[in-house]
Amino acid sequence: MLNLLKYEFRKSGGIKAILLIITAVFQIVFMIGLFGDFEAPMAIGASSLMLIAWIGIGIIGIYSILTLHKDMNTKQGYMLFMIPKDSYRILGAKVIECGLSIWIMGAFFGALGLLDLSLLLKEFNEIDQIFDLLKMVIESVSELELNAGFAMTLVLFILTSWLFTVVNAYFAIVLSASFFNGKKFNWLISLAIFIAISLFISYIYNKLPIAEISAMKVSTNLLSIGFYLIPTVLLYFITAWIMDNKLSV
Amino acid sequence: MLESIEVTKKFVGKTAVDSATFTLEPGHIYALLGPNGSGKTTWMKMVTGLIKPTSGYIMYDSKPIGIQSRKEIAYMATEPYFYDWMTIKDVGKYYEDFFEDFSLSRFNELISRMELSEKLKTKNLSSGMSAKLKVAVTMARNAKIYLLDEPLNGIDLIARDDVMKTMLESASPENILVISSHLVEELESVVDRAIFIKDSHFAGLFDLEELRQSEGMSIADKYREIFGHGGQINA
């Protein structure tokens, strides 16, 4: 399993390096603006960092989906599927790599954001007051209790739901490759299955009381994470079973 | 022993292999012969587990093929299949990581003999170099069954001798070698049995020595008889 993980990380190493380089460039722009008192570079750097944080996490998930698609549809897949490992391990390595990458990148961008925010607060005291005011308004309007624990569980929930989306895409790709391979519009069937499952899970989630914004707090965020982990695990097992028994590459 | 029992594989609009039944025994080198599209590659991929049969069974030592058999079956595909970020050294490391029967020292010896530099990226290899690498990494395994799909494709005459030598070095009374090739005459001196596949059907398994003695035919003669115009087969 560790060897499988090692090679999954190796496959996504290039895209992660590119993301880190882009992040480093924007961070430098931000620092130059901050310490050189240039407002424009500071604003560009800060907004670009926020953008790359969200896009970067999205890209990692999408790249993982594309890697599986490549493993299913090119000769390079032989490297993966002729080794003496069952599909639960092969897919498991992909899910773990993607999950860890999403969460580690999330933590990295979160830590970087906190660092930049503390630098900003140090340079501009009035920003502290603006944040306090903003927090007070949000708490009074939405009855949310904004604190570090809430923020962390909320981010974790968003990342977990993104992992569910990725595993759902794995399922759709494997289903398409196993049962609709060679058929016209197989990608359309695959896309339809992906959307249908996403909508179904989202529909069920929105029916639950934990989904209401006013009810959001640390405990409900944790329950929401648990909710999205259930279909993620379920889809993982079904996908691996299909790979073991029906998939031809 | 490897048994193919009523193995059929259907793709959309095409039957690639139809009820193929035959048995391969250790201690023999088999030629797998048939024109393009006859089903040779599909059959090999089914033995390797890359393709699932639509029906029928493939048994290795009386057990259905699966994860365990992949440990003992070495497959060399005809197309290049290495990850494009890999160097030749990475390929050896990858096989060492996943196959217990892989010998890195044997691999290094083979790539050195084939004059391949371990620093070369697989995506930059010529078709001949790629073919040599595939043979080297496959034959560096101490497998029970070797399935080599068109190992002589795209390589010059001198390199072909190297590849042939490497393949034969791995043959032993304990293992089975299956070589598919269009170069029927070249296999004549290497193999001792031949399997013919015609239009997705098993068309016969012949012992070459028996063929020479009983029918006075070479493997090429038999090929012409089966696949030539109006060729009929009595398996």
Better-scored residue on pLDDT, A140 or A90: A90
Chain A residue numbers with beta carbons less than 8 Å from the beta carbon of B48 are: 82
Return the residue of A nearest to B90 by Cα. A7
* Residue A125 pLDDT greater than 80, yes or no: no
| CB spacing of B12 vs A85 below 8 angstroms | no
3-class DSSP state for residue B66?
coil
Smallest CA–CA distance, residue B99 to chain A, in Å, is: 7
Neighbouring residues of A179: CB distance < 8 A, sequence distance ≥ 6: A246
Closest listed residue to residue B204, CA positions, set B59, B32, B5: B32
Establish if B94 touches chain A: CB-CB under 8 angstroms. yes
Better-scored residue on pLDDT, B218 or A195: A195
| CB spacing of A84 vs B68 below 8 angstroms | yes
Mean pLDDT of B57-83: 91
Mean pLDDT of A244-248: 86
- pLDDT value at position B14? 87
Smallest CA–CA distance, residue B87 to chain A, in Å, is: 13
Banded model confidence at residue B107, pLDDT cuts 50, 70, 90: very high
Best mutation target among B11, B46, B52, B95 (most A Cβ atoms within 10 Å) is: B52
Report yes or no for ipTM above 0.85. no
pTM: 0.82
Smallest CA–CA distance, residue A207 to chain B, in Å, is: 41
Establish if B84 touches chain A: CB-CB under 8 angstroms. yes
Tell me the C-alpha distance between A150 and B67, whole Å: 45
Closest listed residue to residue A228, CA positions, set A113, A119, A99, A132: A99
Predicted confidence (pLDDT) per residue in A54-65, tens digit: 899 889 888 988
- pLDDT value at position A141? 65
| CB spacing of B81 vs A78 below 8 angstroms | yes
* Residue B223 pLDDT greater than 90, yes or no: no
Banded model confidence at residue A178, pLDDT cuts 50, 70, 90: confident
- pLDDT value at position B168? 87
3-state helix/strand/coil string of B152-167:
CCCCCHHHHHHHHHHH
- pLDDT value at position A110? 85
Smallest CA–CA distance, residue B178 to chain A, in Å, is: 17
* Residue B231 pLDDT greater than 70, yes or no: no
- pLDDT value at position A84? 93
Q: Which residue reads 């217990």 in tokens?
A: B100
Diameter of chain B measured on Cα atoms: 53
3-class DSSP state for residue A12?
coil
Chain B residue numbers with beta carbons less than 8 Å from the beta carbon of A181 are: 11-12
Mean pLDDT of A187-192: 85
Better-scored residue on pLDDT, B235 or B18: B18
- pLDDT value at position A182? 67
Banded model confidence at residue B108, pLDDT cuts 50, 70, 90: very high
- pLDDT value at position B233? 46
Best mutation target among A79, A174, A181 (most B Cβ atoms within 10 Å) is: A79
Banded model confidence at residue B59, pLDDT cuts 50, 70, 90: very high
- pLDDT value at position B163? 81
Mean pLDDT of A140-153: 73
- pLDDT value at position A214? 67
Are A183 and A164 in contact, with CB atoms under 8 Å apart?
A: no
* Residue B11 pLDDT greater than 90, yes or no: no
Banded model confidence at residue B234, pLDDT cuts 50, 70, 90: very low
Q: Which of A230-239, B182-191, B196-205 has the highest mean pLDDT?
A: A230-239
Predicted confidence (pLDDT) per residue in A150-163, tens digit: 888 888 888 889 88
Predicted confidence (pLDDT) per residue in A68-81, tens digit: 888 888 889 899 99
Smallest CA–CA distance, residue A182 to chain B, in Å, is: 6
- pLDDT value at position B235? 42
- pLDDT value at position B75? 95
Neighbouring residues of B131: CB distance < 8 A, sequence distance ≥ 6: B151, B152, B153, B154, B155, B159, B163
| CB spacing of A75 vs B51 below 8 angstroms | no
Amino acid at A44: I
Best mutation target among A8, A15, A78 (most B Cβ atoms within 10 Å) is: A78
Tell me the C-alpha distance between B151 and A162, whole Å: 44
Predicted confidence (pLDDT) per residue in B136-169, tens digit: 999 999 999 999 998 888 777 777 887 888 888 8
| CB spacing of B98 vs A248 below 8 angstroms | no
Mean pLDDT of B178-193: 85
| CB spacing of B99 vs A183 below 8 angstroms | no
Q: Name which of A142-156, B43-57, B64-78, B134-148 the model is least confident about.
A: A142-156
Return the residue of B nearest to A73 by Cα. B81
| CB spacing of A76 vs B99 below 8 angstroms | no
- pLDDT value at position A232? 93
- pLDDT value at position B141? 95
* Residue B232 pLDDT greater than 60, yes or no: no
- pLDDT value at position B92? 95
| Domain B2-227, CATH | 3.40.50.300
Query: Closest to B48 (Cβ–Cβ): which among A14, A82, A182?
Result: A82
Establish if B12 touches chain A: CB-CB under 8 angstroms. yes
Domain boundaries, chain B: 2-227
Chain A residue numbers with beta carbons less than 8 Å from the beta carbon of B71 are: 84
- pLDDT value at position B220? 84
| CB spacing of A83 vs B77 below 8 angstroms | no
Query: Closest to A249 (Cβ–Cβ): which among B11, B50, B94?
Result: B50
